[in-house]
Structure 1
């Protein structure tokens, strides 16, 4: 395996031995699944926001917006939500607007793609409330649409959001105009995740067991770069390496391994990370290093891996490990504060300083 450096200026995750400042826990009254870090830049009074969504198998769910200062050594061990607002059904994903100039806009997926306006300050005016901005339905023939499994906000073109759905389609929205830019039948079965690479290029994974790349300049064709070794084993999650677009990672249903792909060498993984002892549930590339990736799973482990430039025949061991209280079902790595990783298990969200 050859994992070249992309030439981007990088800093590598390092263990933090300050036991008083490495783990902070938010305990909700509901199970937590979806999470999102904001891009709110300092020196704003609220240096950072984290949105967490409830996971209840009913219509009435909610989203909490947590505020904290990641530079403070006295970060509270528990958080009080600065905003809470209802959300129809459990949000399958949350993302703040990817531009530092719009930290007040949050997107969520579930029954529809929804955009929410978050008040700029939650310190001075407690009477302010989160306002729904738009509800986007990708069905052309009905007021209802098939549930959305995930979405991704395009960093290069922030007017674009791509959604994935159980109806086999991927939809690219122009969220500024509130219209569908294009809708593609992307797979033969349900589409479980979507990730942007460049401004007009995205990839998706599906219950049909394939990773496919689409270019909006040629909507009639897609490139299959990986297929499950066992036919029709679903691929659940996809993460595109934003610092080196040659690489992406995916996970298979009920599998303890993470598959690392090089889009220049389709079909054969360049690495398989196999130190989890139960199913992997989420993956995230480091925002400051093209060779580091984090994974979490049903073995209650959060592992950080460093991909070597030369393959080790004995396999790759994680460089850092953290054990949570129960199965970890979600993971987010902060882009603006890369020392912080958020994990969710049960009704807890934990911030880990790496």
Structure 2
């Protein structure tokens, strides 16, 4: 007679309650540390908070601790780089490109280059994008790495405020990036040829574009969303200015877009209608009528969505004070 222990069924949803309303969020990219996220607060004060949480899969509980010394970046007034470790997370450097003034132009977004982790791009309300170069140096007599940064290039990217920036995986994944802004355009740049840019799309009513995201597997495609819009626009850089698809099942403003890390034809969108929707776009240019999966966060508007690069079966969302990770 043999007895077999049946392993407990894994949960489909894990939830963490933060001490303050959440807005920003992202997964750790370390494959050896599953289910670790950084969460950023949204409070109407100068000092917002960042918390690093990890899920214990055995207890299904989150803990706000980090045992691994990793670098984390945040943006607000300036770009800050932190070292996340025990016993505490400490600030490594503040990157400020305007040292001659007591005032700063707030940053709206940033993107950390996946191919060259020494590059971070930021976007600002002062119409510029800045590409920073990071260096890690060894202090004499100590084992602690110090991080510093310098401006590799700064350019006027748009006619008005720039709201988002994202590096593309095209051309080796290091030199090409795109931005969106209050002038309603998507513009693409190449660090090797900054004397000109390419306009990928312009909103017909010049409505500000708030977010953009590149397809992780096919760099010809990117997605963007306009201010107060209920639809997500899919663009093909080979056919500028003409959307190849519109995803319009949301019933309120879209707040977040995230492409699947492992598939070129799946994208997730989230919005004020409490919904996170997953779409299959492989039938483009035929119309994409409905999402293939829908999740409703009954308690609040979904502010942010991220699809983990090392966890392709899981999506993270945040609403109100809650962060949830969902199996897809």
Check whether TM > 0.5: yes
Out of 213, 228, 232, which is 2:203 matched to? 228
Aligned residue in 2 for 1:51 = 38
Moved >4 Å (runs of 4+):
none
Q: Are the equivalent residues in 2 in contact too, given 1:40–1:103 (CA < 8 A)?
A: no
Q: Are the equivalent residues in 2 in contact too, given 1:147–1:166 (CA < 8 A)?
A: yes
Tell me which of the two structures has the higher relative contact order, counting C-alpha pairs closer than 8 angstroms and 6 or more residues apart: 1
Aligned residue in 2 for 1:196 = 167
Q: Which runs of 5+ in 1 are unaligned?
A: 1-17, 84-101, 123-127
Out of 12, 29, 36, which is 2:26 matched to? 36
Q: Residues 4-15 of structure 1: matches in 2 within 5 Å? A: none
Q: Residues 1-354 of structure 1: matches in 2 within 5 Å? A: 21-42=11-32, 46-69=33-56, 72=57, 74=58, 76=60, 78-82=61-65, 104-119=70-85, 128-139=87-98, 141-176=100-135, 177-197=148-168, 198-231=173-206, 233-313=207-287, 315-324=288-297, 325-354=299-328
Q: Which runs of 5+ in 2 are unaligned?
A: 1-7, 136-147
Tell me the TM-score normalized by structure 2: 0.88
For 2:189 and 2:300, locate their aligned partners in 1 and report how far apart those are by CA, in whole Å.
Answer: 37
For 1:19 and 1:33, locate their aligned partners in 2 and report how far apart those are by CA, in whole Å.
Answer: 31
1:268 shift after superposition: 0.2
Q: Which has the larger radius of gyration?
A: 2
Q: Are the equivalent residues in 2 in contact too, given 1:297–1:327 (CA < 8 A)?
A: yes
For 2:177 and 2:39, locate their aligned partners in 1 and report how far apart those are by CA, in whole Å.
Answer: 25
For 1:145 and 1:66, locate their aligned partners in 2 and report how far apart those are by CA, in whole Å.
Answer: 30
1:142 shift after superposition: 2.1
Q: Are the equivalent residues in 2 in contact too, given 1:38–1:103 (CA < 8 A)?
A: no
Q: Are the equivalent residues in 2 in contact too, given 1:137–1:144 (CA < 8 A)?
A: no
- Residue 270 to residue 103, structure 1, CA distance change in 2 (3 Å): farther
For 2:275 and 2:232, locate their aligned partners in 1 and report how far apart those are by CA, in whole Å.
Answer: 14
For 1:152 and 1:347, locate their aligned partners in 2 and report how far apart those are by CA, in whole Å.
Answer: 24
Tell me the TM-score normalized by structure 1: 0.82
1:216 shift after superposition: 1.1
In the alignment of these two chains, the number of paired residues is: 303
For 2:12 and 2:237, locate their aligned partners in 1 and report how far apart those are by CA, in whole Å.
Answer: 36
SS in 1 for 2:29: coil
